[in-house]
Amino acid sequence: MHLPVLQKEVLQYLDPKENENFIDCTAGNGGHTTAILGKNGPKGKVLGIDADPEMIKNLISRISNIEQRRRLIPVCGSFADLKEITKKENFKKVSGILLDLGMSSWHLEESGRGFTFQRTEPLDMRYNPQNPLTAAKILNFWSEPEIEKILREYGEERFARSISQEIIKTRRSSPIENTQQLVKIIQRAVPRSYQKGKHHFAIRTFQALRIAVNNELGNLKKVLPQAVDILMKEGILTVISFHSLEDRIVKNFFRENPNLKIITKKPMTPSQKEIKTNPRSRSSKLRAAEKSL
């Protein structure tokens, strides 16, 4: 079951009221979307965007309340195209926008697209199946410096060089096609002490590949200024990030945008109770800002 992260805090900052309109840029399985729809009736709408068509199907099927479903506008697309989507849907008077940058449980447990190192799956890692780039293409066709760069920058992997060298060495004899092949490559490339660390030794490489395949950081940089433009005055922008690269982009954008007033002096983090219920929430941070001009 998908558990929405920091839902209480999201509702606290967005503070949805009757007849107000909101955008959930990462609608996923609909946890946050349905919570907002439960508060902004009878005429308030939610524009729910997701890059993955399967997520949009899941979103629609999860909302059994006919009245709420009528007020949902589901759109399969990239939130990097937020302005274009709102224009096409004629979606106006937006009181709040949410970006939950976490990966859904469905992608890890059910998609079969190689997001997890705990199963044997094809090295796909795409949210949108129309995306021509896959993790396998990066591993089998990109140059050693390019692979090292994404592992270092997106995964903050200190053994990026030795892992990228091992990837090139392995693919000379046979293509790298599934997750367990990649795990074994990483295992050969890193010291034994690293393999016994607090986190799994493959986690940073998998994160880096996923970010590169889906252009996650580039899309985040694109959407933030669009979100500010779309919001009404006093509208709220909330962003939930899951690693330092995302959080740094959001924090700097909030600080540097003259049209925003930061309303979370420090990022909100999940309670121990939430972490116990949903361990994947552990690294989440929520930042919120109000459009002041």
Phi and psi at 158, nearest 5°, equal: -75, -15
Q: What is the mean pLDDT of the chain?
A: 96
pLDDT in tens, 82-123: 999 999 999 999 999 999 999 888 999 999 999 999 999 999
Q: pLDDT-based confidence at 24, cuts 50/70/90?
A: very high
3-state class of 203 per DSSP? helix
Least Cα distance to 79 among 209, 292, 230 occurs for: 230
Give residue 193's pLDDT: 96
The yes-or-no answer to whether 7-106+216-291 and 113-214 have a common fold is no
Query: Percent of the chain scored above 70 by pLDDT?
Result: 99
pLDDT in tens, 162-200: 999 999 999 999 999 999 999 999 999 999 999 999 899
DSSP string of 122-157?
Answer: BS---SSTT-S--HHHHHHHS-HHHHHHHHHHHS--
Report the DSSP pairing between strands 21-24 and 46-50: parallel
Order of all β-strands in the sheet with 46-50: 72-76, 46-50, 21-24, 94-100, 231-241, 285-291, 260-262
Residue 2 has pLDDT above 70, yes or no: no
How far is it, in rounded angstroms, from Cα 26 to Cα 127?
Answer: 11
Q: What is the CATH number of domain 113-214?
A: 1.10.150.170
The size of the chain, in residues, is 293
How far is it, in rounded angstroms, from Cα 135 to Cα 214?
Answer: 10
CB 10 within 8 A of CB 39: no
The third-level CATH classification (topology) of the domain covering 7-106+216-291 is Rossmann fold (3.40.50)
Q: pLDDT-based confidence at 280, cuts 50/70/90?
A: confident
Report the DSSP pairing between strands 231-241 and 285-291: antiparallel
3-state class of 287 per DSSP? strand
Where are the chain's structural domains?
A: 7-106+216-291, 113-214
Give residue 29's pLDDT: 87
pLDDT in tens, 251-271: 999 999 999 999 999 999 999
Give residue 170's pLDDT: 98
Give residue 133's pLDDT: 98
Matching residue, tokens 């690294």 = 283
Give residue 3's pLDDT: 78
Residue bearing the bigger pLDDT, 279 or 147? 147
| Predicted model pTM | 0.95
Greatest C-alpha distance within the chain: 62
Give residue 203's pLDDT: 96
Tokens of 80: 């990097």
Give residue 105's pLDDT: 87
